[in-house]
Amino acid sequence: MLPVSMDDLAEKANLLRTEVVKMLVNAGTGHSAGPLGSADFWTMLFFGGLINYKADEPWWEERDRVVLSAGHYCPILYAVLAEAGFFPKSELMTLRQLGSRLQGHPVARKLPGIETSSGPLGQGISQAVGMALAARTDGKRWRVVCFMGDGEQDEGQVWEAYLCAAKYALLNLTVVIDRNNIQIDGHTENVMPLDSLAAKLTAFNFNVLEVDGHNLGEIKEAYERAKVFFEKPTAIILRTIPGKGVDFMENEPGWHGKVPSPAEEILALAELKKND
């Protein structure tokens, strides 16, 4: 992969946000805040040289496994995969439509690049642990990255999986948690307090890194550090602004699980254009 400048990546993230807004408006239902808030991370992951993949050979044996545990983030993953060439961009507008490969929440292997089924929260992390264990058992070099929401941490299964990842010292596993502080019913600290998340993860025997989830350089550095940390699995806490890039959505829990109206779409796209 050719080196890409941080400016190019920032521009790509903005483009992907635009795609996400269009997809969501077209679909009429879905989740806005998380996909917009994590666009910088996803852009860096796929286009910043952090992971190995072949878009024209999506099930290449040696690929790094990207597991989306928080399935409701799928619009941004779909947009990133299309941008990377896993499937035609024209398909993005079929999101949530009957017969589409872009299911409302991802279904494993139904679409190139989609490793697991998700939606019910907390299940991706266990599958990521299983993949990392399989890679270890077979002496494979590929790595696993699991993307999770912060509200998702409420699920007990998540902590079972963390215990297991630490037991087997899965240094080939990187967990990325979008710490945007919102979930459907409001702010995470009101719904079910999570802080200090870093202290909890440290106590669960993870190597914990916290970064500004909108700083591409910090994301890259954290992921590269996770790759060379040889004692424990790593958790990267991404501090993000939900709805990032669209002022009226930012930090508003109400935008977790709804999509812009056509009128709001015009405002949102205008704002994103301004960011270019």
Partner 1 sequence: MINAEMFLVNDLTKILKIAMRDGYGEGLTEAGRRNEKVVVLVADLMESTRTDLFKAEFPERFFEMGISEQNMMGVAAGMAACGKVPFVNSFACFNPGRNWEQLRLSVCLSGNNVKVVGGHAGFGNGTDGGNQQMFEDIALARVLPHLTVVVPADYEQAKKMALAMADFSGPVYMRMTKPKRAVVTTMGTPLTIGKAQILRSGKEATVFACGAMVYEALLAAEELAGEIDVEVINVHTIKPLDKETILGSARKTKRVVTAEEHSIIGGLGGAIAELLSEEYPAPMKRVGMGDKFGETGEPDELLVKYGMTKEAIIGKIRELL
Note the residues at the interface with partner 1 (CB under 8 A).
Answer: 67, 107-109, 115-120, 122-135, 137-138, 156-157, 160-161, 163-164, 167
Q: Considering beta carbons, is residue 20 or 125 the nearer one to partner 1?
A: 125
Minimum separation from the CB atom of position 215 to partner 1 (A): 31
Burial 64-76 (b: 16+ CB within 10 A, else e): bbbbbbbbbbbbb
| Number of Cβ atoms within 10 Å of the Cβ of 63 | 17
Minimum separation from the CB atom of position 203 to partner 1 (A): 17
Report the DSSP pairing between strands 182-183 and 234-239.
unpaired
Distances from the Cα of 107 to the Cαs of 39, 69, 80, 98, 126, in angstroms? 21, 12, 16, 14, 16
Q: CA dihedral defined by 199, 201, 207, 208, rounded to 10 degrees?
A: -60
Residue the block writes with tokens 């007990």: 156
Q: Considering beta carbons, is residue 84 or 107 the nearer one to partner 1?
A: 107
Q: Considering beta carbons, is residue 105 or 239 the nearer one to partner 1?
A: 105
Q: Considering beta carbons, is residue 88 or 156 the nearer one to partner 1?
A: 156
Minimum separation from the CB atom of position 197 to partner 1 (A): 19
Q: Considering beta carbons, is residue 122 or 253 the nearer one to partner 1?
A: 122
Minimum separation from the CB atom of position 233 to partner 1 (A): 14
Minimum separation from the CB atom of position 20 to partner 1 (A): 24
211, HSE (Cβ side, Cα atoms, 13 Å): 24
